[in-house]
Structure 1
Amino acid sequence: MDNTDTPSSARQSLLDATEALIYAGGINATGMDAIVKASGVARKTIYRHFATKDALVAQALRERDARWMRWFSEETCRAEPGPARLLASFDALSSWFATPGFRGCAFINAAGETGDPADPIRIVAREHKASLRAFLLQLAIEAYIADADALAGAWLILIDGAISVALVTGDLQAARRAQAMARCLLPTFFAPTTKELP
């Protein structure tokens, strides 16, 4: 029996439980029985909302993308616009790495569990990275970076590298190390006449 009051609340409980379970233990290790138990939503109700487990997981990841990007943007944009804001992206990561529930990037983790590039879950992971890169590009443009597109690509690699190192090795300083590399790299993206650096 569902312990939720309306179809919309049942759906949200289902998505919240699915996201938490797959982030903590992985997609393949999370069975439908665990999702039913954690969400309190009956199996037949689940399949009224989502035709397959993959569809459920993909939607849970989309919701995580929206929430994570909102958080990352808000944390990063606490700094003044310009190079300082670009570097603040690593301060946001550093605070995230120190949280007890940190399990790396949910989207890298999910992509690693899917073999087919056309898999709906892999597509959501790719969309997340595109959203993150677009945000970084916006920051680079606001900072008057000459080659903003190249900087956004480099920043994405540094961010994902820091996340992966923090997860695999437990190095909570990975974001600080990536930030130091980014600081050294930053002048190479400015126009030759630009004098002002952080």
Structure 2
Amino acid sequence: MDHTTAEGRLLDAADTLFYERGIQAVGMDAIRAASGVSLKRTYQLFPSKEHLVEAVLRRRDQAVRDALEAYTLARSTPTERVLAVFDYLHDWFGQPDYRGCAFINSFAELGGSSPNVVEIVRTHKRAFADHLAALVVAAGRPPQLAAQLALLANGAMVTAAIAGSAAPAREARAAASRLLDAEPPS
């Protein structure tokens, strides 16, 4: 098995297992078994579990950024693009394997013990907020509105996971729409 294939299998297996069970509940042997990559090769590619966690989060970060950008760009007006963020969340929350935001979950599990994970999570959340800010500005609304919308979105992520429902995305979207209406385009 070549380097790229082994790495991909390990990242896929770790991402799935970490998201389903939590990072601390999953050992390297479970990842090895799920990936089909030998333990020796696993540690050649990722010298520690923390290295693997970081790689999984970095890959997920890029995937989320790409998916969200494509989703919002598919809308025809700037205001629709802002609200599309909440439609994206609704679609995500409605997936049967939704267990909350992997970044929020990782921060909750490892925030006190892994500065690298904290930095990856903060970078991801900053990028999310920056994307929202760009959409808000393009819609002619004040930039500070983006921080309020990011709070709505992140709160919806947590609430949806706890409630086991996609409804918080619709509630957050309605609140976002009211905020946008209160700040007409300039």
TM category, shorter = over 0.9
The code of the aligned residue for 1:111 comes to F
The code of the aligned residue for 2:164 comes to G
The code of the aligned residue for 1:31 comes to G
Please show how residues 9-28 of structure 1 align to structure 2 within 5 Å.
Answer: 9-28=5-24
Q: Residue 175 of structure 1 is aligned with which of 169, 179, 183?
A: 169
How far off its partner does 1:75 sit?
1.6
The code of the aligned residue for 1:152 comes to A
Q: TM-score, normalised by structure 1?
A: 0.88
1:25-59 CA deviation, whole Å, 9 max, x = no partner? 11000111100001111111111112210111111
How far off its partner does 1:190 sit?
4.3
How far off its partner does 1:94 sit?
0.8
For the pair 1:56 / 2:52, whether they are aligned, the reply is yes
Q: Is the 8 A contact 1:140 1:152 kept in 2?
A: yes
How far off its partner does 1:118 sit?
5.6
How far off its partner does 1:136 sit?
0.8
Q: Residue 149 of structure 2 is aligned with which of 151, 155, 168?
A: 155
Q: Is the 8 A contact 1:50 1:56 kept in 2?
A: yes
Q: Residue 137 of structure 2 is aligned with which of 133, 138, 141?
A: 141
Gapped regions of structure 2 (runs ≥ 5): none
Q: Which runs of 4+ in 1 moved over 2 A?
A: 115-118, 187-191
Q: 1:141 to 1:117 in 2, by over 3 A?
A: farther
1:83-142 CA deviation, whole Å, 9 max, x = no partner? 121011111111111111111100000000014376211211111101111111111121
- Secondary structure at the counterpart of residue 113 of structure 1: helix
Tell me what 1:43 maps to. 39
Q: Residue 107 of structure 1 is aligned with which of 103, 109, 113?
A: 103
- Secondary structure at the counterpart of residue 11 of structure 1: helix
Q: Is the 8 A contact 1:87 1:182 kept in 2?
A: yes
Higher helix share: 2
- Using the alignment, how far apart are the partners of 1:117 and 1:87 within structure 2? 36
- Using the alignment, how far apart are the partners of 2:46 and 2:183 within structure 1? 45
Identical amino acids, percent of aligned pairs: 37
Q: Is the 8 A contact 1:82 1:139 kept in 2?
A: yes
Q: Residue 85 of structure 2 is aligned with which of 66, 89, 104?
A: 89
- Using the alignment, how far apart are the partners of 1:117 and 1:134 within structure 2? 27
